[in-house]
Amino acid sequence: MGRIAYVNGRFVPHGEAVVHIEDRGYQLADAVYEVWALFDGKLADPEGHFARLERSLGELRIAMPMTRAALTLVLKETVRRNRVREGLLYLQVSRGVAKRDHAFPNPPVRPAVVMTVSAVDRVASEARAARGVGVVTTPENRWGRCDIKTVGLLPNALAKQKAREAGAVEAWFVDELGFVTEGASSNAWIVDAEGRLRTRDTNANILRGVTRNSLLDVIRREGMEVDERPFTPAEAVAAKEAFITGAGTLVLPVIAVDGKPVGEGRAGPVAKKLRRLYIEQARATAI
């Protein structure tokens, strides 16, 4: 059976799923999205992703396309129809379809909704996590509202391509003061030279990662301390460990920054343990 997409109220074969050429998401990046990790066919960290979706839409004054309960049903039905147990669920909500004009359509139009599901090979992901990955750094060049999860991802796409061409998996944006803000599609962490967990605070211009937040719960439950303070790439290289978090990467050890090894240049024990604990919690609380 092939992949199925949800497009504006209909389930359609993935290859035939289309949106209108004047969808404002397509023309103006006037759209928000969410990505859920799927464990055993269930949505990980549901509350965090729904809350952020509502917040992103609210900040842009786009209406919730349906109630949270209805959205949950449709998301789960999309997963079911794809028969994916381990994977990713993508949801995009745009302001809708209207004649091209930068200002909002008046009267408002119906938001456009798209959902897709893709499978993830957990064996390959675990092998990658055991090895660890490299990141590269790149100057921060995004707009001032990275807390809103919009599809305006061109700087992120260019940064990710830079990483790929360097044989790395992620790019870390670095602000004008020399501190890492976040990754192109993940949040950034280190276990600093003193052995303390560190990740940038969310008052900064970064996405408030749902995985980051759930991992903070895990960390506190384990009685570990975390310092929500930014770090530089040099501090990451001098750190004992580094890792990234996100729905796509979960908790993924970082072993090199711009080709320089972090710590001993191997996936570290803290990152490995946090990955295991995060996945256990996410599996147990998925809906």
Residues forming contacts to ligand PDD in the complex (CB under 6 A) are 35, 156, 182, 185-187, 207, 209-212, 245-248
Question: Closest separation between CB of residue 32 and ligand PDD, Å?
Answer: 11
Q: Exposed/middle/buried for 225, CB within 10 Å: 0-12, 13-18, 19+?
A: exposed
Strands 87-94 and 31-39, how do they pair? Answer: antiparallel
Q: Exposed/middle/buried for 259, CB within 10 Å: 0-12, 13-18, 19+?
A: exposed
Beta bridge partners of 245: 187, 251
49 or 97: whose CB is closer to ligand PDD? 49
Specify the DSSP class assigned to residue 67: -
98 or 207: whose CB is closer to ligand PDD? 207
| Residue 149 designated active-site | yes
28 or 120: whose CB is closer to ligand PDD? 120
Question: Closest separation between CB of residue 154 and ligand PDD, Å?
Answer: 12
Q: How far apart are CA 200 and CA 231, in angstroms?
A: 7
51 or 224: whose CB is closer to ligand PDD? 51
Helices (H), ranges, 185-286? 210-221, 233-238, 269-285
212 or 240: whose CB is closer to ligand PDD? 212
Question: Closest separation between CB of residue 101 and ligand PDD, Å?
Answer: 28
* Residue type, position 276, single letter: R
Going by C-beta distance under 8 Å and a sequence separation of 6 or more, which residues neighbour residue 78? 4, 5, 6, 11, 89, 115, 116, 117
Question: Closest separation between CB of residue 187 and ligand PDD, Å?
Answer: 5
Q: How far apart are CA 71 and CA 87, in angstroms?
A: 19
Question: Closest separation between CB of residue 110 and ligand PDD, Å?
Answer: 25
Going by C-beta distance under 8 Å and a sequence separation of 6 or more, which residues neighbour residue 26? 19, 20, 94
Q: Which residue out of 149, 160, 240, 272 is catalytically annotated?
A: 149
User: Residue 4 phi/psi, 5° resolution?
Assistant: -120, 135
Question: Closest separation between CB of residue 84 and ligand PDD, Å?
Answer: 16
46 or 248: whose CB is closer to ligand PDD? 248
Name the residues annotated as catalytic.
149
